Amino acid sequence: MGTLKGSPNINTGIAANNDKDLVELAGLHAYTYPLFESVLQVNNTDYTVIDTRYEDPTGLDAMTVVNMETEEISIIYVGTDASGKYGNKDILTDAQLLSDLTPAQLAAARSYYTEMNQKFNQVGGVKSIAGNSLGGGLVGAVAVENPEVNAVTLNPALLPEGMVDPNQTYDNITNYFSSYDVLTQTLIALDLHGRIPGKQYEIFNGIPEFSKLATNHTGYLRNEDGSQFYVIGEVGKPGYGRIYIDADAHIVSSIWTGIPLYGGHSERIEINKENLDILASSLQSHVTERLNLAHEYLGNSVAIVEDEGNRFYERLNRLQNTFEDLFENIISEPLFLGITAISNRLTAEIDHLISLLNIAESHSKSLNYILNSPPAELLEHIFRTNVSVESLFAELRNQLYELRSNIQNISRGIINIVSDKIPELFRGGKDAWYDAIVGELNAHYGIVNGNRDKLLSHISEFQKQVQDVAANFQMRDQSLGQSIKSKSTHSDSISVQGTNTYKLEDSPYMELRMKIKEFQMDTAYTAFTASTQALLFPLLEKGQLLTFAVESTLEILSSSIKGAANFALSYTIPGKLISLFSDFDDKIRNSIANALEPLDELAATIEGVRKGLGRLIVEYPTLLNNFRPYVETAIFDNSGYFNVHLYNLASIAILREMEMLFDDVVYQLGNHKAEAIDALCEVSKKVKSNMGILYEQVDRGTIN
């Protein structure tokens, strides 16, 4: 929005028109040390550096520039930390110190102003001073003492205590705060911004990302010529785009006078053909341009949501695989590898255990055979002993079968979790979507996009009406008013664009705003936790009981078999039978050992299984904890979600600015005797209220 020289009722001497240039000079050019008498270009205006003060021992850096169009002189202050002039100070330190403007630097800043004001006194003296951050603090210090100078700051630092008189308004000072600027936000939070003199306006540039702190602080990311932006997303991926952050593009100024519209309306202007033309052309260019940018941002949000929607199965599968991996990894027991499949290693292992049992059984049978057929000579000396273990073997076999089917049930349970319970994590939302967050955002955007298009048509219709009224302004005003109201486009050869109704649709969605994800996460995850535990725990506990049972049966079995060696001998075995007996005894012992060996292996394996199951019970809550972040990203990719928020934020910033602009339009068109203008005013009110509705809807897509 250029300034309009020579428009009626405008005091061209108002330096406020310069605010944008000054903010850019302070936030961008001042950091490059232009040499004495070099020329800079800011927003298509040339500025010459007519004095420099870069070597000041206090750490003050300043330059004096002249606007070559208006010949107005301004001082741009760059505050630096005197102790480490180029210490690349952390902005947070800035915030902690709140203000390390040393008295020496403040004094130097003041005397520099006085010096320059005197030096250039022949050509009007210093009209404005500007600076950002610490430089902004210096500006404040100079301006409180010099009410005749126009001062502009961007995110200024605090002045030392006692410098600002609370009873004064300091109307010569305008401070712009970028939302999300850490330093000023901190000051506001600490309620210290009373130490920043003058008017305070928020401009909506910058985005709240911690890593962009430094950039938010000066408002500029030196990127490509003249346009400064953050890059969002990844190249080639949906939603990749830019958010433009030029601090000066966000300063809203009156369509007619170029004076910043903060804290009030611009001066009343006369509504005549010329001013209507200005309004029409601004609606066509600037307003449409800004709204198109907002449109582009929203388009990027939508692209991110759509892409997320298209990747539903990919997100789901990834989450399923993650769960399976986590499940296998929490039991560091090789036996459990593949437990998440129905035919797994563990069931195969139990089959193997059953075969071991068979081996043990055949060995115990042969043991019995040996016991039952001792050498005849020994018969009278030995009590008949028999190891009766068939029933034990049968019992053990049954227990193992049962354990195997239990393990299979556990596997089925896990498979059920993966195939049914995990998809349930995605379900929910207002219309019970299968992909809740995407569904809700999509539904909401369906309405927002329709409304956005309506608003754009509304504005372009309004623009046509303004144009038509301007064109016919010489004609009879009354009939004009009639034709706007009656929606007819004919009346005494005057044709005016008729008024249509643009009613924006309400959106029942996103009532929880961006908290929907958190909400989905909490409800779905709680349900998931409860249902999976209900499913798994009984099975796991049963498995544990079964392994205990197997182990105790094994104990009895082993001791029975071992008992076979303790056959009682009659008083004494005659000496000549000793060797015979020894042979027999050895045979028995060998046979016992043979029967016990597979049983020992079996016992060791079962112990592993029991421990594994126990660990599953103990560790499952941990698994759920570890699983949670994966779910969060799968429900809607975290960075994508944040980018949706950022784009929405950027577009509501524009909508907010446009609302302010229209507020001024309504004000300027109001209270005119002319009927046509009244009619236009009515339309502009509707446009403004529609902007408000859209603003609120887009705002729902931001994280507060």
Contacts of 398 (CB under 8 A, 6+ apart): none
Stretch that binds another protein, among 190-198, 219-227, 381-389, 505-513 (CB under 8 A): 219-227
Only one residue has tokens 């379900």, namely 427
CB of 158 to another protein, least distance (A): 20
Position among 8, 87, 147, 375 found at the interface with another protein (CB under 8 A)? 87
Binding residue count for another protein, defined by CB under 8 A: 44
Among 70, 120, 354, 515, interactor with another protein by CB under 8 A: 120
| 50 Cβ neighbours under 8 A, 6+ residues apart | 36, 37, 64, 65, 66, 73, 120
CB of 160 to another protein, least distance (A): 22
- DSSP state at residue 286: I
Q: Give the nearest distance from C-beta 50 to another protein in angstroms.
A: 4
Instruction: Answer yes or no: are the C-beta atoms of 656 and 698 closer than 8 Å.
Output: no
Taken in order 407, 409, 412, 417, the sign of the CA dihedral is negative
In order of 61, 89, 328, 432, 675, the CA distances from 56 in angstroms are: 7, 19, 67, 67, 62
Give the Cα separation of 673 and 528 in Å (integer).
67
**Which one, 154 or 255, has the nearer CB to another protein?**
154
Stretch that binds another protein, among 224-232, 406-414, 561-569, 620-628 (CB under 8 A): 224-232
Q: Which is nearer to another protein, 90 or 314 (CB)?
A: 90
Spatial separation of the C-alpha atoms in residues 200 and 196, rounded to whole Å? 8
DSSP state of 403: H
Write down the least CB distance from residue 23 to another protein, Å. Answer: 16
Cβ distance to another protein smaller for residue 53 or 421: 53
Dist CA 452 CA 645 (whole Å): 17
Looking at residues 558 to 587 of the shown chain, list those that interact with another protein (rule: CB under 8 A): none
Nearer to another protein, 123 or 341 (CB): 123
CB closer to another protein, 86 vs 383: 86
Contact (Cβ atoms closer than 8 angstroms) between residue 441 and residue 306: no
Q: Which amino acid is at 521?
A: M
Q: Site mask, another protein, residues 160-199, x = CB under 8 A?
A: ----------------------------------------
Tokens for 397?
């076999």
Q: What is the C-alpha to C-alpha distance for residues 358 and 351, in angstroms, rounded to an integer? A: 11
Minimum CB–partner distance for residue 193 and another protein (Å)? 24
Question: Which of positions 22-61 make contact with another protein (CB under 8 A)?
Answer: 31-33, 35-41, 44, 46, 48, 50-55, 57, 61
Name which position in 11, 86, 313, 579 contacts another protein (CB under 8 A).
86
Q: How far is the CB of 29 from another protein (least distance, A)?
A: 9
Q: Catalogue the E-assigned strands of 82-190.
A: 126-132, 150-154, 173-178
Does residue 66 belong to the site contacting another protein (CB under 8 A)?
A: yes
Residue number with CB closer to another protein (1 or 40):
40
**Residue number with CB closer to another protein (84 or 264):** 84
The radius of gyration of the chain from alpha carbons, rounded to an integer in Å, stands at 42
Cα torsion 334, 335, 338, 343 to 10°: value is 160
State residue 266 phi and psi, 5-degree precision.
-75, 165
Is the four-CA dihedral 320, 321, 324, 327 of positive or negative sign? negative
Q: Is 224 in the site for another protein (CB under 8 A)?
A: yes
Cα gap 617→626, rounded to integer Å: 15
For 689, residues 6+ apart whose C-beta sits below 8 A from its C-beta are none
Pick the stretch among 81-89, 274-282, 336-344, 461-469 that binds another protein (CB under 8 A): 81-89
The correct pick among 2, 8, 13, 85 for binding another protein (CB under 8 A) is 85
C-alpha torsion 43→46→48→49, nearest 10: 10
Task: Choose one: 79-87, 304-312, 447-455, 683-691; the region binding another protein (CB under 8 A).
Answer: 79-87
Number of residues that this document lists for the chain: 704
Smallest distance from the beta carbon of 38 to another protein, in angstroms? 5
Binding span for another protein by CB under 8 A among 83-91, 190-198, 353-361, 434-442: 83-91
CB nearer to another protein: give 56 or 361: 56
Among the listed residues 361, 385, 359, the one whose alpha carbon sits nearest the alpha carbon of residue 373:
385
Q: Is 7 in the site for another protein (CB under 8 A)?
A: no
Q: What residues between 602 and 631 interact with another protein by CB under 8 A? A: none
Pick between residue 68 and residue 674 the one whose CB is nearest to another protein. 68
Which of 11, 88, 474, 566 is close enough to bind another protein by CB under 8 A?
88
Beta-bridged to residue 131, according to DSSP, are 77, 153
**Binding residue for another protein, selected from 68, 326, 370, 593, defined by CB under 8 A:** 68
222 lies in the binding site for another protein (CB under 8 A): yes
Of 36 and 369, which has the nearer Cβ to another protein?
Answer: 36
Q: Least distance from C-beta 337 to another protein, angstroms?
A: 39
Are 256 and 280 in contact, with CB atoms under 8 Å apart?
no
Smallest separation (angstroms) from another protein to the CB of 57 = 5
The answer to whether 390 and 489 are in contact (CB under 8 A) is no
Provide the 8-state DSSP code for 70. Answer: T
Considering the complex, state which of residue 64 and residue 364 has its C-beta at the smaller distance from another protein: 64
> Based on CB atoms, which residue is closest to another protein, 85 or 490?
85
Q: Rounded to the nearest whole angstrom, what is the least distance from the CB of residue 242 to another protein in the complex?
A: 12
Q: Are 477 and 466 contacting, i.e. CB atoms less than 8 angstroms apart?
A: no
**Minimum Å distance from CB 130 to another protein?**
16
Task: Name which of 422, 503, 444 is nearest 686 in CA terms.
Answer: 503
Place of tokens 């040393």: 102
The least distance separating another protein from the CB of residue 233, rounded to whole angstroms, comes to 15
CA distances for 616 relative to 193, 336, 484, angstroms = 56, 10, 75
The nearest distance, CB 143 to another protein, in angstroms, is 22
Among positions 495-524, residues that touch another protein (CB under 8 A) are none
Hey, how many other C-beta atoms are within 10 angstroms of the C-beta on 377? 14
Contacts to another protein from residues 199-218, by CB under 8 A: 211, 214-215, 218
Distance of CA 115 to the CA centre of its chain: 50
Q: Which is nearer to another protein, 60 or 466 (CB)?
A: 60
Among 166, 225, 474, 559, contact with another protein (rule: CB under 8 A):
225
Q: How far is the CB of 224 from another protein (least distance, A)?
A: 5
Q: Is there binding between residue 380 and another protein (CB under 8 A)? A: no
Sort 233 into a burial class: Cβ within 10 Å, 0-12 / 13-18 / 19+.
Answer: buried
* 616 alpha carbon, distance to own chain's centre: 34
Counting contacts by CB under 8 A, is residue 107 touching another protein? no
* Contact between 237 and another protein per CB under 8 A: no
Q: Phi and psi for 66 in degrees, rounded to 5?
A: -120, 135
Cβ(356)–Cβ(598) under 8 Å?
Answer: yes
**Which positions lie near another protein, rule CB under 8 A?**
31-33, 35-41, 44, 46, 48, 50-55, 57, 61, 66, 68, 78, 80, 85-89, 120, 122-123, 211, 214-215, 218, 220-226
